[in-house]
Amino acid sequence: PHLHSGWQVDQAIQTEEDRVVVIRFGRDSDQTCMVQDEVLFGIAEKVKNFAVIYLVDIDEVPDFNGMYELYDACTTMFFYRNKHIMVDLGTGNNNKINWALADKQELIDIIEIVYRGARKGRGLVVSPKDYSTKYRY
C-alpha cells in the first residue's frame, strides 16, 4: 500500500513489532520504480509472515528525502522495530538499495536475512549476494 504522509510513514515504521518494514521510496511514474513495484507486489504474499511492504512517493512525501538522502529514482530501505537496518550489498552504500532488484528470489533472500539479523539485534546484515559488480562503469 501507499503511504501518503510523513506521519503515515512514521506510524508504519514505529508500530510494526514483529515484521521487517520494507519501504520503497521513489516516483510512481518512474520506470525503475515500476519494475521494483512489480517485484515487491509479486513477493508481498510470500513474505507477509516476516515483512510488510509500503510504497512512498518522494514528491508527495518529501519529509524523508534529506534524512535518508533519497536522490535516486527508486530506493528500497528496511526497518525493524523503528530501527533502520543496513544491508551490506558490496556496493559501498549500506543504507539502501538504489536500483530495481528484478529477481524476486534475491529480494526475498535479502528481506529474510534482514529479518533474521534484526531479530538478533544486528543493525547491519550482509547480503547473500555481492552486487558490487552489478554496474560496470
Note the pLDDT of residue 40: 94
pLDDT in tens, 76-92: 999 999 999 999 988 88
Distance between CA atoms of 134 and 137, rounded to whole angstroms? Answer: 10
Note the pLDDT of residue 123: 94
* H/E run at residue 33: helix 31-47
Chain mean position to CA 36:
10
Measuring CA to CA, how many Å separate 134 from each of 39, 130, 137?
Answer: 18, 8, 10
Ranges under pLDDT 50 in the chain: 136-137
